[in-house]
C-alpha cells in the first residue's frame, strides 16, 4: 500500500522508525515532512497528508505530533478527511472498520515506539464494514456540507 506520513519536530525519530517498519512490510511510504528537528508547525504537515489522500497520491496517512491532536485537527479541516487520534490498537482497528478513517494519528510524547507500530499495523490491516456505519458517515458529511 502507498502511505503518506507527516510529523512535526517532536516526532522525527518515531517517524523514521515507523517508515522503516512499514517499508519492511513492503509498503511504499511518501514522507511529507518535517524532515528535521527544527521547530515546525503541525498544521502544515496535517494538511499536506490530507490533501495527498484526496488527490489519490497515497491511500492512507499516518500523522505524528506531540499528542497527535493538533496534527489530526488540521487534517480534519480538509473536507472529506477523517483523521483519528489513537493511543492503542483496538481503537486504531475500529476507526477503519466503523469510521472509515483514512488517517491515523498518535502522539510521539504519548505512545512508545512499539505501541506506535502496533497502532499503525492495526489501522492498516482493518477494512471498512460499510452498512449502518456508512449511513453515520453520511451524516458527518452532511454536517460538513451545511457549514
The site for ligand RB5, by CB under 6 A, has a size of: 8
Among 3, 4, 5, 8, binds ligand RB5 (CB under 6 A): 8
How many whole angstroms separate alpha carbon 48 and alpha carbon 75? 8
How many whole angstroms separate alpha carbon 27 and alpha carbon 78? 25
Among 4, 6, 61, 70, binds ligand RB5 (CB under 6 A): 70
Q: Is there binding between residue 111 and ligand RB5 (CB under 6 A)?
A: no
Q: Find the shortest distance in angstroms from Cβ 113 to ligand RB5.
A: 17
Nine-digit cell string for 122: 492495526
Q: Is there binding between residue 69 and ligand RB5 (CB under 6 A)?
A: yes
103, 75 Cβ separation under 8 angstroms: yes
In this structure, the number of other CB atoms found within 10 A of the CB of residue 42 comes to: 28
Residue of 22, 16, 47 lying closest to 118 (CA atoms): 22
Q: Is there binding between residue 65 and ligand RB5 (CB under 6 A)?
A: yes
Task: Pick the piece of the chain touching ligand RB5 (CB under 6 A) from 21-29, 52-60, 64-72, 121-129.
Answer: 64-72
Q: Is 9 a catalytic residue?
A: no
Q: Is 86 a catalytic residue?
A: no
Residues designated catalytic: 65, 98
Amino acid at each position: 500500500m502507498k502511505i503518506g506520513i507527516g510529523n512535526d519536530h517532536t516526532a522525527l525519530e518515531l517517524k523514521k522508525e515507523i517508515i522503516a517498519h512499514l517499508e519492511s512490510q513492503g509498503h511504499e511510504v511518501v514522507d511529507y515532512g518535517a524532515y528535521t528537528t527544527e521547530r515546525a508547525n503541525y498544521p502544515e504537515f496535517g494538511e499536506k497528508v490530507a490533501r495527498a489522500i484526496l488527490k489519490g497520491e497515497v491511500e492512507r496517512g499516518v500523522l505524528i505530533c506531540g499528542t497527535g491532536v493538533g496534527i489530526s485537527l488540521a487534517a480534519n479541516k480538509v473536507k472529506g478527511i477523517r483523521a483519528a487520534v489513537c493511543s492503542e490498537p483496538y481503537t486504531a482497528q475500529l476507526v477503519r472498520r466503523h469510521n472509515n478513517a483514512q488517517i491515523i494519528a498518535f502522539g510521539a510524547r504519548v505512545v512508545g515506539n512499539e505501541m506506535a507500530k502496533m497502532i499503525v499495523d492495526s489501522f492498516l490491516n482493518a477494512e471498512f464494514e460499510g452498512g449502518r456505519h456508512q449511513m453515520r458517515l453520511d451524516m458527518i458529511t452532511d454536517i460538513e456540507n451545511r457549514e
